[in-house]
Amino acid sequence: MSTFPSDIEIAQNATLQHIRKIAEKINIQEDDLEYYGKYKAKLPLELQSENPKGKLILVSAMSPTKYGEGKTTMSIGLTDGLNYIGRKAIGVLREPSLGPVFGLKGGAAGGGYAQVVPMEDINLHFTGDFSAIEKANNLLSAVIDNNLQNPKFSLNLDPKSIAWKRVMDMNDRSLRQIIIGVGAKSNGTMREDGFNITPASEVMAILCLSKDLEDLKFRLGNIFVGKTLDGKAIFARDLKVVGAMAVLLKDALKPNLVQTLEENPVILHGGPFASIAQGTNTVIATKMGLSLGDYVVTEAGFGADLGAEKFFHIKCGQSGLKPDAVVLVATIRAIKHHAGLSSEDFKTENVAAIEKGFCNLEKHIENIQKFGINPVVSINAFPDDTQAEYDKLKSLCLAKGVTAIVSTAFVDGGKGSAKLAEKVIEEINKGEANYKPLYQKEDSIEHKINTVAKGIYGANSVEFSPKSKSQLKMINDLGFNDFSICMAKTPASFSDNEKLIGRPTNFIITVREFEIASGAGFIVPLLGDVMRMPGLPSIPNAERIDIDNNGKISGLS
Amino acid sequence: MSTFPSDIEIAQNATLQHIRKIAEKINIQEDDLEYYGKYKAKLPLELQSENPKGKLILVSAMSPTKYGEGKTTMSIGLTDGLNYIGRKAIGVLREPSLGPVFGLKGGAAGGGYAQVVPMEDINLHFTGDFSAIEKANNLLSAVIDNNLQNPKFSLNLDPKSIAWKRVMDMNDRSLRQIIIGVGAKSNGTMREDGFNITPASEVMAILCLSKDLEDLKFRLGNIFVGKTLDGKAIFARDLKVVGAMAVLLKDALKPNLVQTLEENPVILHGGPFASIAQGTNTVIATKMGLSLGDYVVTEAGFGADLGAEKFFHIKCGQSGLKPDAVVLVATIRAIKHHAGLSSEDFKTENVAAIEKGFCNLEKHIENIQKFGINPVVSINAFPDDTQAEYDKLKSLCLAKGVTAIVSTAFVDGGKGSAKLAEKVIEEINKGEANYKPLYQKEDSIEHKINTVAKGIYGANSVEFSPKSKSQLKMINDLGFNDFSICMAKTPASFSDNEKLIGRPTNFIITVREFEIASGAGFIVPLLGDVMRMPGLPSIPNAERIDIDNNGKISGLS
């Protein structure tokens, strides 16, 4: 048996086109490109048209397992598949975060023959967007603490009220909860603070939701910082730091063009996590893709309970975008996982387990249907899958009115997703997608949380911790009731307990606390014990990553 | 009276050449350029030759004041001046740090008509080098704390012994001294830590001193982390994180090409501060400049007591580079400051003050002469200077055997530094520069500190705090005695007390504590109350920085 090459081997052996050539395919002039080396370029905001004509395809997934369901692989494969069947399609996806590269996950640029390249650059600093977001976030923090330090110019901020955290794009659990300003008076005011991971920063959310530079500045100004000692709300604009934050973000606001292994255009822009943030690439990039191509494939991971729900309520809610089709990624092994099997049993054919574990995918299908769109299921093929398992899964899907199609994009690239692409086009041509939100702006925050927890997760009820109750009162007092909610929850389960696999019932969702993102226009309920700063595993992937003296990298998965 | 335009106005009105055109001037092929937009490019390490033929001109300065002496302006002006008189000269300088941009200082890309452009990009994220350094530094921190967290894979590190700090390129005093790992067990081991500013990171020092990727990895591996509970020294290599750190630095290791307003080539690379780090651009960039041009102008700020001393002992010591000429920047107003005048008196002609304040410059001249090189003084012209003051300063210099030349590069660009350029060429052609270090590798750390403190600063003696004494013992036990020293001291005075202006005598230098940089190959004595993480002023420059809806930036000085 020959060994299938690793992702990085495939990427390193690929012959890349100069990014100028990729840009040509979607009618972008060379002079509009801001090169970052030969294979990456930033695109000017002007390429975004007012009313773009392209069709929007949202890729989401069943509840993911630690083995990886290949959402990005499927998104890239579908982009290649659409081009393979002669359509002008552009992938518009998130940028990977550096933190997980050194943790468990490794890279996030697709896999096998469905990758975006240059894979190494994309997984590392790329064009510096994450770093710019981090700096803008932390400049606000430095200015907040500087304001506490200088009584003469002080806004009279109550140090205990400060809601703004620092961020770092690193899996670093030791920074979750920290005491700053220790030591001499010149070291600042001592107070509790913490770092979130950069993809969880509100600045990231703002960048992803902004229409343009003006909107970006307006939103940055609306960031809630904390309260004065006499109870007045203080926003970033009160600290006169909005201009400087926007200057730091001027390039990050521009989408990035790269290519798939099949030389099709992909725009990567913005990278909020779907578990602890709103999860999808920038509105600007999506609109730009819809302006430049006939079809845009975009992704909202992790499970659709998180990614798709937020895509609908937050991204569609704020931007007016509406998907024309939804693809749900499933794998035979994830279905088996949700049937309660452990990984050593994945290799054995088990049709009964498909029947049992389908409940997870089923609930996701029902959820997408609730939003007014009938999804297509894309089964990401793995070597141990059997035809009988595929047949069972397909018939289960069909019983829900949904077509399931096997994609071999990992092994075959676009050709392997050609059938899926045909089916997606067929769905779009039906014109039946009719997105509608499950909650309205005017609904209370509690109502919004209940709607998602019961309607999407299948919970019996929602419990609010004492802390979250008092925060809820403050949120109402601040007039933030109109905001969307951006749930932070484990992606491993519909519930807030990662151990409840499949389609759990009779469970309670616990709102532990809230984070406020008034510039982004949402409230983040933290459910269960979810953390907005991950940690490294016992043996971090960092140990496997290396570069030889000739500059060749290994260990980026 | 017409108003002289601001630095940013001049930079924004400049017509830039495509960086390809600048590269052509020094015979770099387009295919070798890695573009970052149209006006910045990274250069491949292969452009560095084994034994470069160019002549090296070091620009340093008298003790700086808060008004700014224009070292970078003079360095860029001299580069333009050399080109103006028909020489093939390249500026090789440091990259600015973001922290001070939002603090007091504003930008650091020169001033007036002696600037490097694109000024805004250079002062902001530039090509991401600082960010890469920050990430590599903080990855090591995360891995250290992760090791403490996982008993099974633990190196048995003593949390109290950890010498490695996190860094952030931000003036953020609240992060100087912090407690990390607060809260739940899953939040890591509680211990004291602190952030230095990124230009003070040992990773920055290592990047600046490395010959190539192999050397970079070797040095990263040699970073001292702390000790095990039973007293064994632990290095970064023991944490298996060297490969991942090097991967993060792969692009940062490549020098960056930009241009002056007069379209002359400038390489910017690396950015350690001279007050709290070794202060000069990378060895790779200097050697590359010497390979590509006949003359390289490089800078070692702040005062020559810090910048030039470290340039000699650390950079020359490790790389074998030797300057062929040294230029000391002086201003009439700095001379007046060191005579004890306050700024409101600077506008009045005061020849006596020149005589009195010269003592500061005089000591710097003597110091450079001790290293075996007779400097040229460059007087950076300001509008209120008078001819009588210039004449006095020139004659005082001449009495020390040194020629002083007025440069009007700020107003006139290269033409304003043509005379200075002629004089520098004359000095080089004499071939009398004969650099020799003041201390030897084998000398004890105490001896090295005493040599610099007495010989360069003019101190009577050196006092070691109890903490520094016990650290000194550890440094000796670790076998780090051979290392250079990299003094961290206020640049405002020869002493460690910023209030002692002029040429102080009868003072004591206090070594408060040490930081170890065994990968960089030096020990950092912290003198007086110097901090390696600055703070923001009461009204930070961040408040003045803005960007309009068309993307035009203001307030970057």
Higher pLDDT pick, B366 / A107: B366
CA B537 vs CA A145, A181, B529: distances in Å: 11, 16, 17
Q: How far apart are CA A254 and CA A46, in angstroms?
A: 10
CA A190 vs CA A116, A170, A178, B309, B529: distances in Å: 45, 24, 10, 37, 20
What pLDDT score was predicted for residue A162?
97
The band of B511, judged by pLDDT with boundaries at 50, 70 and 90, is very high
Is position B68 annotated in a ligand binding site? yes
List the single residue in A128, A179, A551 with the smallest CB-CB distance to B128. Answer: A128
- The answer to pTM > 0.95 is yes
pLDDT digits (tens, 9 = 90+) for A86-99: 999 999 999 999 99
Is B159 part of the contact surface with chain A (CB cutoff 8 Å)?
Answer: no
Which DSSP category does B305 fall into?
T
Residues 193-252 of B with CB under 8 A from A: 193, 212-214, 217, 240-241, 243-244, 246-248, 250-251
Q: How far apart are CA B87 and CA B424, in angstroms?
A: 12
- B441: number of Cβ within 10 Å: 13
- B483: number of Cβ within 10 Å: 21
Is B552 part of the contact surface with chain A (CB cutoff 8 Å)?
Answer: no
List the single residue in A179, A244, A545 with the smallest CB-CB distance to B247. Answer: A545
Contact (CB<8Å) A176/B169:
no
Closest CA to B266 of B33, B540, B79, B45: B79
Is position B67 annotated in a ligand binding site? yes
List the single residue in A36, A125, A549 with the smallest CB-CB distance to B214. Answer: A549
Residue B96: burial class (beta carbons within 10 Å; 0-12, 13-18, 19+): buried
pLDDT above 60 (res A137): yes
Contact (CB<8Å) A553/B250:
yes
Contacts of A180 in chain B (CB under 8 A): 174-175, 178
CA A229 vs CA A143, A146, A148, A157: distances in Å: 18, 16, 12, 6
Tokens of A384: 């141990």
Residue of A nearest to B186 (CA): A173
What pLDDT score was predicted for residue B105?
66
Residue of A nearest to B120 (CA): A247
The band of A106, judged by pLDDT with boundaries at 50, 70 and 90, is low
Contact (CB<8Å) B543/A135:
no
Q: Quote the minimal CA–CA distance from A430 to chain B in Å.
A: 41
What pLDDT score was predicted for residue B108?
79
pLDDT above 90 (res A67): no
The band of B106, judged by pLDDT with boundaries at 50, 70 and 90, is low
Q: Please compute the mean of the pLDDT values over residues B177-187 and round it to a whole number.
A: 97
The band of B67, judged by pLDDT with boundaries at 50, 70 and 90, is confident
Q: How far apart are CA A322 and CA B21, in angstroms?
A: 46
The band of A556, judged by pLDDT with boundaries at 50, 70 and 90, is confident
Q: Which residues contact B210 (CB under 8 A, 6 or more apart)?
A: B216, B219, B253, B282, B283, B284
Q: Please compute the mean of the pLDDT values over residues B238-252 and round it to a whole number.
A: 98
What pLDDT score was predicted for residue A153?
80
List the single residue in B34, B179, B247 with the smallest CB-CB distance to A124. Answer: B247
Maximum Cα interatomic distance, chain A, rounded to a whole number of Å? 75
Q: Is the dihedral of CA B212, B217, B222, B226 positive or negative?
A: positive
Is position A68 annotated in a ligand binding site? yes
Residue of A nearest to B248 (CA): A124
Contact (CB<8Å) B535/A146:
yes
Contact (CB<8Å) A545/B34:
no
What pLDDT score was predicted for residue B2?
61
Q: Please compute the mean of the pLDDT values over residues A224-236 and round it to a whole number.
A: 97
pLDDT above 80 (res A288): yes
What pLDDT score was predicted for residue B153?
80
Run of H or E residues at B117: strand B114-117
Is position A3 annotated in a ligand binding site? no
Q: Please compute the mean of the pLDDT values over residues B527-547 and round it to a whole number.
A: 94
Tokens of B195: 């952030």
Q: Establish whether the linkage from the previous residue to A507 is cis, with ω within 30° of 0.
A: no
pLDDT above 90 (res B80): yes
What ipTM was predicted for this assembly?
0.96
Contact (CB<8Å) B546/A243:
yes
The band of A370, judged by pLDDT with boundaries at 50, 70 and 90, is very high
pLDDT above 80 (res A557): no
Q: Please compute the mean of the pLDDT values over residues B400-421 and round it to a whole number.
A: 98
Q: How far apart are CA B293 and CA A442, in angstroms?
A: 67
Contacts of A131 in chain B (CB under 8 A): 125, 128, 131, 135
Average per-residue pLDDT for chain A: 96
What pLDDT score was predicted for residue B50?
84
- A64: number of Cβ within 10 Å: 23
CA dihedral A288, A291, A293, A296 (to 10 degrees): 50
The band of A191, judged by pLDDT with boundaries at 50, 70 and 90, is very high
pLDDT above 60 (res A327): yes
Burial pattern B426-439, b for ≥16 Cβ within 10 A else e, equals ebbeeeebebebbb
Contact (CB<8Å) A545/B192:
no
Q: Please compute the mean of the pLDDT values over residues B440-465 and round it to a whole number.
A: 98
pLDDT digits (tens, 9 = 90+) for B350-378: 999 999 999 999 999 999 999 999 999 99
The percentage of chain B sitting over the pLDDT mark of 70, rounded to a whole number, equals: 99
Q: Quote the minimal CA–CA distance from B42 to chain A in Å.
A: 8
Q: Please compute the mean of the pLDDT values over residues A364-369 and round it to a whole number.
A: 98
Average per-residue pLDDT for chain B: 96
Contacts of A182 in chain B (CB under 8 A): 177-179, 192
Residues 70-109 of A with CB under 8 A from B: 98, 102
Q: Quote the minimal CA–CA distance from B239 to chain A in Å.
A: 8
Residue of A nearest to B218 (CA): A549
The band of B1, judged by pLDDT with boundaries at 50, 70 and 90, is very low
Which DSSP category does A14 fall into?
P
Where do the H-state alpha helices sit in A187-272?
A: 202-209, 213-221, 242-248
The band of A2, judged by pLDDT with boundaries at 50, 70 and 90, is low
Contacts of A124 in chain B (CB under 8 A): 247-248, 250
Residue type, A168: M
pLDDT above 80 (res B93): yes
Tokens 């705090």, residue located:
B465
Residue of A nearest to B154 (CA): A538
Contacts of A545 in chain B (CB under 8 A): 243-244, 247
pLDDT above 50 (res A1): no
Q: How far apart are CA B525 and CA B528, in angstroms?
A: 10
pLDDT above 80 (res A506): yes
